[in-house]
Each structure stands twice: as structure tokens, then as C-alpha cells.
């Protein structure tokens, strides 16, 4: 391992630690580590057809990954650009949960709740389904933290229904659907972050939920990390 490789590896490890396991740093670190394998194959390929083929296979893998990522991001950005100003009227709106930090909504979740409050101001009869369970590092269910925030903002408790069991986007929709089916609701909206809604709509369609998407703003500083997560999460959802 060359000196610069040691330095870069050390920087990546520090970045992952201080960012508390940030997915983007971790993924890029794995890509960087894979270049060691590529360099080994490249070195051995001079004297071996087998390693030459492995080297070409690595090149093909990098190319497919890059093309797929660029294509997905282009579709994601187009979806956001076309739909970001949508504000369709729905009698019931699912608000997808997000992380709580010391019982307070994280910045990403807060932006979803701000959008929910804006929606309430325009359509005060709306019933919101707040969907989110309790994570291992959270003191209360996300749905309860969301309700606390919205009640403090001025939305009456009677406008809120809590779904406190979901631990994934799929479960957000699955458990919310059970509530909506029991109420015989057909006019349904969903609020989430702009980067999240492309996959969220895909899951809703799989579950037979006809939703109108309402796009909350996304923190620009988190967009790359989140869209990278969405890339893998979307294709993982497709294979189910």
C-alpha cells in the first residue's frame, strides 16, 4: 500500500466516524477499497489472461454502476423538477416519518412537518396520518414526536392520527393503508422529502395505494448522501 493510500484510507475512516456512519462516505470508501483489487488485477493481467479478464470485468462493473447511478439521479431530479410545486387537495395525508434527535425532529423530518403545516393552513380539514415507529436510538416513536411538533405549531390533535409501528417506508404505507382502509378513505396524499418521494410513490403503487405526492424541501447539504441511499434502496425495492 502506497503512502497516499494510507493517508486517504485514514481520512475516510475519520470521516465515517465523525459523520456517525454516513452512508455516502462509507459507500465511497468501499469503492476506493475496490480499486486496490482492480490495481492488483491490472498488475497481474500483464502475464495472465485470467487476470486480464478479471480486470475487464471490474471495468465493466464500474461502468454499469456509474451509468445506472447517473440515469437514476437524472430520473430523480426530473421527478422533483416536475412535481415539486404540486399541492393537490386530499382529505387524508400520510406524513412519512424520519429520525428524532433528543425527541426533536431532525432537519429532514422538520421540513416534512413544515410542509404538513403549510398544507393544513391551506386545507384545514385535512386529517394527517403520522407514520413512524421507534428506532433503537430514539426515546419515543417518530409519530409521537411528529404529533408534538405539529400540535405546538397549531394543528388540532383531532386532525392527527398516529401510526407508531412502521420501521421502513414499506411499513409506513402498509400500516397507514390499514388505517385508511378502515376509514374507507380513497382521496390520499403523501408528504415526504423530495429525494424520497420517487421511491415512496413506487412502493405505494405496489401496495395499491393511489397517492398524490406533496414534496417537502430537502436539506441541500444532505441531498447527495440521501439520493445515493435512494439509488440502492430503489433497486432493492424493485427486486422484492
Say yes or no: 78 and 140 in one domain. no
- Strand-pairing partners, residue 100, are 105
Domains in the chain: how many in total? 2
CA neighbor of 170 nearest in space, from 202, 138, 193, 128: 202
Say yes or no: 92 and 195 in one domain. yes
Say yes or no: 64 and 138 in one domain. no
Say yes or no: 159 and 206 in one domain. yes
The mean pLDDT value of the chain amounts to: 88
Q: Which domain holds residue 68?
A: 3-82
Say yes or no: 116 and 75 in one domain. no
**In this structure, what CATH number is given to the domain that contains residue 137?**
3.40.50.620
pLDDT digits (tens, 9 = 90+) for 70-128: 999 999 999 999 999 999 999 999 999 999 999 999 999 999 999 999 999 999 999 99
Please provide the size of the chain in residues.
240
Q: ∠177-178-182 over CA atoms, to 5°? A: 110
Residue 61, φ and ψ in degrees, nearest 5: -60, -45
Output the pLDDT for position 26.
67
C-alpha cell of residue 67: 451509468
Say yes or no: 234 and 140 in one domain. yes
pLDDT digits (tens, 9 = 90+) for 140-168: 999 999 999 999 999 999 999 999 999 99
Secondary structure class of 213 (helix, strand, coil):
strand
Say yes or no: 65 and 142 in one domain. no
Contact 140, 134 (CB under 8 A): yes
Say yes or no: 110 and 215 in one domain. yes
Pick the last residue of a domain from 27, 50, 82: 82
Contact 80, 216 (CB under 8 A): no
Task: Write down the residue that cell numbers 461502468 correspond to.
Answer: 63
Pick the last residue of a domain from 56, 82, 108: 82
Q: Other C-beta atoms within 10 Å of 55: how many?
A: 21
Say yes or no: 93 and 183 in one domain. yes
- Indicate yes or no: pTM above 0.85: no
Pick the last residue of a domain from 18, 52, 82: 82
Q: How far apart are CA 194 and CA 79, in angstroms?
A: 9
Amino acid at each position: 500500500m502506497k503512502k497516499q493510500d494510507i493517508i486517504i484510507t485514514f481520512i475516510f475512516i475519520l470521516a465515517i466516524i465523525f459523520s456517525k456512519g454516513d452512508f455516502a462516505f462509507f459507500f465511497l470508501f468501499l469503492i476506493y477499497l475496490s480499486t486496490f483489487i482492480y490495481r492488483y488485477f491490472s498488475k497481474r493481467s500483464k502475464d495472465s489472461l485470467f487476470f486480464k479478464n478479471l480486470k475487464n470485468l471490474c471495468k465493466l462493473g464500474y461502468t454499469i454502476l456509474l451509468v445506472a447511478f447517473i440515469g437514476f439521479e437524472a430520473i430523480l431530479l426530473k421527478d422533483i423538477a416536475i412535481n415539486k410545486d404540486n399541492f393537490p387537495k386530499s382529505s387524508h395525508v400520510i406524513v412519512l416519518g424520519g429520525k428524532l434527535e433528543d425527541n426533536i425532529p431532525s432537519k429532514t423530518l422538520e421540513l416534512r412537518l413544515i410542509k404538513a403545516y403549510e398544507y393544513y393552513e391551506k386545507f384545514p380539514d385535512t386529517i394527517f396520518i403520522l407514520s413512524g415507529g421507534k428506532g433503537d436510538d430514539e426515546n419515543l416513536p417518530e409519530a409521537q414526536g411528529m404529533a408534538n411538533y405539529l400540535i405546538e405549531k397549531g394543528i388540532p390533535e383531532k386532525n392527527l392520527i398516529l401510526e407508531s409501528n412502521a420501521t421502513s417506508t414499506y411499513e409506513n404505507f402498509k400500516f397507514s393503508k390499514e388505517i385508511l382502509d378502515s376509514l374507507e378513505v380513497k382521496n390520499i396524499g403523501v408528504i415526504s422529502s423530495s429525494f424520497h418521494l420517487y421511491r415512496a410513490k413506487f412502493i405505494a403503487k405496489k401496495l395499491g395505494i393511489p397517492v398524490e405526492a406533496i414534496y417537502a424541501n430537502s436539506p441541500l447539504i444532505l441531498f447527495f448522501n440521501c439520493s445515493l441511499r435512494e439509488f440502492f434502496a430503489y433497486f432493492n425495492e424493485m427486486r422484492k
